[in-house]
Amino acid sequence: MQPVDPVALTADLVRCPSVTPEDAGALDVLHRLLSEAGFECAWADRGGIRNLFARFGPNGHPRTFGFNGHTDVVPVGNPGDWSRPPFGAEIHDGTMFGRGTTDMKSGVAAFAAAAVDLVSSKPPEGAIILAITGDEEGDATDGTLALLDYMAVQNEAMTVCLVGEPTCPEHMGEMMKIGRRGSMTAWFTITGVQGHSAYPHRAKNPLPPLMRLMDQLASHTLDTGTDHFDPSTLAVVTVDTGNPATNVIPAEARGTVNIRFNDTHSGDSLTTWLGAQADAIASSYGVKIDMRVTISGESFLTPPGPLSDLVARAVEAETGVAPVLSTSGGTSDARFVKDHCPVVEFGLVGQSMHKVDEHVRVEHVHQLKSIYSRILQDYFA
């Protein structure tokens, strides 16, 4: 079998307009390639989301290298703002343009190409699993979680896993992720009593307690960071009353905060703290405060060790750059994989992801395949 061109495979995937939750044939492209190379493929669809599971080698082997990625992409926005067709995968001056070129169809293509080349030339003493979802950019409830549930039922397991998200801020090789901060959002609704603004004593204005609560939360220092994490952050992201009148005190006001937290905290501990702050304000002002919380993911860390060393050696060998071990950035599906096996992330430069004219350097896609190939070869050596 001829070596798989990761750039051509990336182009095939980008031409599938798989705006989450639509698949648009992207996973079929991978299914055909992997099946022809001898991978056992299965669908782990759930909730209208397509998810592809593929394994080469024996089920249950103690040396099973896993890869996790996604083929769904964010919307393009106004297509007229793009200088190239957002699903055209056009290459100009060594750069491919299109939604998903960076996040993360090229990462999926590079690993799939590396895996197919390896099993076609010298089948490994062990197994390779690819768990590819169509639900990472959306709610992520029926994507990688569905794949992991499918694996549990089928007694499938990865020994270690690499997530191919873009991890490098500016230059290839400069950063890999060994953990991620947790993420949660809290919505507060404060209920008072509506009244005439000329007679504030006859009303119960929900805005002063809301402002006090938002200020207290935003001014609080959650922590000063840990050995592998920066300090946790809390951001006030919206304050709303829906009040178009200037002579009416509204009956209700709402505020929302988003917290990105390190391993000093858990979602539950922060929920308890938020609730205590809200209760104190409600008591002080004599208003009712309702709180709703969604925890998108807990913080996690894969301690530096064999897996991060394996990836770092391959990255430095192919790029000449020793990657920094980082936990920065937002969330990824690694937050789900970490409950299954040790997981790290390494991928492309992410400067253009989610932007108009998202693009990737062709040479970087080839380089990423080389890095992934070396990781696999060294793992099974």
Q: Convert the pLDDT of each residue in 44-95 to its tens digit.
A: 999 999 999 999 999 999 999 999 999 999 999 999 999 999 999 999 999 9
Domain final residue pick, 239, 271, 297: 297
User: Does the residue 65 lie in any domain?
Assistant: yes
Whether residue 259 is contained in a domain is answered as: yes
pLDDT tens for 235-263 read 999 999 999 999 999 999 999 999 999 99
User: Given a cut of 80, is residue 147 above it in pLDDT?
Assistant: yes
Work out the average pLDDT over 135-158: 96
Indicate whether 134 and 22 sit together in one domain: yes
pLDDT, residue 105, reads 98
Total domains in the chain come to: 2
The enclosing domain of 277 has a CATH number of: 3.30.70.360
Q: What's the predicted TM-score (pTM) here? A: 0.91
Compute the distance between CA of residue 182 and CA of residue 257 in angstroms, rounded to an integer.
14
How high does pLDDT run on average in the chain? 97
264 and 278 assigned to the same domain: yes
Specify whether 73 is located in the same domain as 211. no
| 13 and 64 both lie in a single domain | yes
Decide if 112 is inside a domain.
Answer: yes
Asked if the structure places residue 19 within a domain, the reply is yes
Residues 15, 124, single domain; the answer is: yes
> Does residue 1 lie within any of the structural domains?
no
* Same domain? 31 vs 168: yes
Range of the domain at 282: 182-297
CATH of the domain at 366: 3.40.630.10
Give the closest residue to 163 by CA, choosing from 358, 304, 335: 335
| The predicted structure's pLDDT at residue 375 | 98
Q: Is the pLDDT of residue 1 over 80?
A: no
Q: Of 12, 72, 142, 345, which one is the catalytic site residue?
A: 72
Last-in-domain residue among 253, 272, 297: 297
Same domain, 269 and 303: no
Mean per-residue pLDDT, 342-348: 98
Question: Is residue 188 in some structural domain?
Answer: yes
Q: How confident is the model at residue 330, as a pLDDT?
A: 86
* Residue-wise pLDDT tens digits, 90-129: 999 999 999 999 999 999 999 999 999 999 999 999 999 9
- 68 located within any domain: yes
Which of 243, 270, 297 lies at the terminal end of a domain, its last residue? 297
Catalytic residue among 12, 23, 103, 136: 136
Q: Is residue 122 part of a domain?
A: yes
Reported as a single tens digit per residue, the pLDDT across 268-282 is 999 999 999 999 999
Partner residues linked to 162 by β-bridges: 67, 344
Same domain (yes/no): 65, 28 = yes
Q: Are residues 235 and 317 in the same domain?
A: no
46 and 169 in one domain?
A: yes
Known active-site residue 72:
yes
Query: 165 with 45, same domain?
Result: yes
**The pLDDT of residue 336:** 96
Is residue 299 a contact partner of residue 261, using CB atoms and an 8 Å limit? yes
Q: Any catalytic annotation for residue 136?
A: yes
Same domain as 71, residue 12: yes
